[in-house]
Structure 1
Amino acid sequence: MQNIILSAETRESVSNGKLNELRKSGWIPAVLYGGHSGEKSDKNILIKVKEKSLQKTIGSHNAILELKVGNQSDSVLIKEIQRDVVTQKLLHVDFQRVSMTEKLEVMVPLHLVGEAKGVKLSGGILQHLVREIKILALPKDLPSAINLDVSGLEIGHGLLASEIPAIAGVQLLLDPHQMIANVVAPTILEETPQAPGAATAAEPEVIAKGKKPEEGEEAAATATAKPGEKGAAAPKTTGTPAK
């Protein structure tokens, strides 16, 4: 395990305004829970850490740090990090003093590695159901993450917690039958059948638009129509009607 050393200084309890001034000067306010080694475990110490030094050490998850405050040195674990919700700048850090001979319960990220066979060859969908698990281990055995290979998964298959590879010195604190990841078939949306005749809607009657013919035009059209055709004028009769 890499030995990461972080230096800090004690500070006093001040107002939020003073804490903002502290941050502007390059320091991040922090708290050491559990006090120094050999002291009462319920004693908390207010400290401050240089932001540049802190940025270099918070990248590794569950890393055990050697925190030096004055002449005192303690093994600590970063318990919580507070950031600005907009700028993501560091605001506050909580450190927890740990004993290198006592096991800790911590949460560890669970990463899926490889490309599932059911996804690559059959177009299935990989579901990552559990992304973080609780473990029990000594500080020196704490992993930064746990990897689970899913390359052999086919559609309809999954991996249980019991199939996570064993790690020396690490005990998994979850139900061995809990499903961690699986591959499901892609969802196909079926078209709703249409009622007979609904697909071919009746075409609307088209009514031609145009100006109404004048009386002279209508008379001319009637005159040019051949006898017997629609629109032809009725033939004139001459002579004396039969009695």
Structure 2
Amino acid sequence: MTTEAVKIQLQVRDVIGKKVKRLRQEGIIPVHLYGPEIESRALQCAQKEIVRALASSGGTTPITVSVDGEGDEQLTFAREVQWHPVRGDILHVDFLAVAANQKVTSLVPLVLTGEALGARLAGGTAALQMREILVEALPLEIPSEIEVDINGMTETSSVLRAGDVKVPSNITIVTDSEEMVVRIEVTRHSQPMATDGGAGEETATDSSDSGGSADGE
């Protein structure tokens, strides 16, 4: 499945160094575009457009960058985002230029699906031990999330490792295959549940927080 890149329009930035503080006060975010095949450039964009693009990409979807007055488009990833430590505003964004036909690595969020019988028997839950997994794929084929099927966790001692995670053939998991992804956790007050059925079945759920921080202008 091919992902459709998010689009964003940037402008050439003449202001650099400490003077970019004035840009931010005007609602403009300094941007740095770089990559192995291009010359690094100082650019800028309206804050609301940066926020929209980052929210839409989710960190895994590529962002197609265009510069005012130029006809070329550049496929990129938002690799580093600098945030204000108190207000939480975006201060700076680094876009890494990539080629559509060259594989890249990216962290992709994990989501649990199914029900772990072993967790129900133990009176516990199937818990993620990592929120994201590192994969390699073409930029437009990186998924927004990867589902981890826990239906096979039928024993109270069941675990799933990175090598057990199923992905399409066009995606390669880079994370060490022995890294633990899911295990059954039991709280000290939990009691094992009867195996002949009954109420109180538990379904694993996942929630994650994201954020980032980077240096540079």
What interval of TM-score do these two structures reach, taking the shorter chain for normalisation? 0.7 to 0.9
Offset at residue 20 of structure 1 (A): 1.7
Choose the corresponding residue for 1:45, options 41, 45, 58: 41
- The amino acid of 1:15's aligned partner reads G
Measured on the aligned residues, the alpha-carbon RMSD in Å equals 2.2
1:155 alignment partner in structure 2: 156
Offset at residue 26 of structure 1 (A): 1.4
Preserved contact between residue 156 and residue 185 of structure 1 (Cα < 8 Å): no
Offset at residue 127 of structure 1 (A): 3.6
In structure 1, the residue corresponding to 2:101 is in which secondary structure?
coil
1:10 aligns with 2:8: no
Offset at residue 42 of structure 1 (A): 5.8
1:173 alignment partner in structure 2: 174
Preserved contact between residue 38 and residue 97 of structure 2 (Cα < 8 Å): no
In structure 2, the residue corresponding to 1:53 is in which secondary structure?
helix
Per-residue CA deviation, residues 80-108 of structure 1 (Å, 9 max, x unaligned), is 11111221111100001110011112222
1:35-184 → structure 2 map (5 Å cutoff): 41=37, 43-59=39-55, 60-70=58-68, 71=70, 72-153=72-153, 154-184=155-185
Q: Rg: which structure is higher?
A: 1
1:191 alignment partner in structure 2: none
Offset at residue 65 of structure 1 (A): 1.4
- The amino acid of 2:172's aligned partner reads Q
Alpha-carbon distance change, 173 to 15 in structure 1, aligned in 2, over 3 angstroms: closer
User: Matches of 1:69 and 1:23 in 2, distance apart?
Assistant: 19
Offset at residue 185 of structure 1 (A): 4.2
* TM-score using structure 2 length: 0.75
Gaps of at least 5 residues in structure 2 are 190-217
Per-residue CA deviation, residues 32-67 of structure 1 (Å, 9 max, x unaligned), is 012xxxxx7362100001111111111222211110
Offset at residue 146 of structure 1 (A): 1.3
Offset at residue 133 of structure 1 (A): 1.9
1:33 alignment partner in structure 2: 34
* TM-score using structure 1 length: 0.68
1:233 alignment partner in structure 2: none
Identity %: 27
1:221 alignment partner in structure 2: none
Greater relative contact order, per chain length (Cα 8 Å cut-off, separation 6+): 2
Per-residue CA deviation, residues 166-211 of structure 1 (Å, 9 max, x unaligned), is 22411011232332111144447xxxxxxxxxxxxxxxxxxxxxxx
Q: How many residues align?
A: 183
Preserved contact between residue 32 and residue 44 of structure 1 (Cα < 8 Å): yes
Which shifted more, 127-136 or 54-63? 127-136
Preserved contact between residue 108 and residue 134 of structure 1 (Cα < 8 Å): yes
Per-residue CA deviation, residues 3-42 of structure 1 (Å, 9 max, x unaligned), is 32100001125232x21210121111010012xxxxx736
User: Matches of 1:81 and 1:50 in 2, distance apart?
Assistant: 15
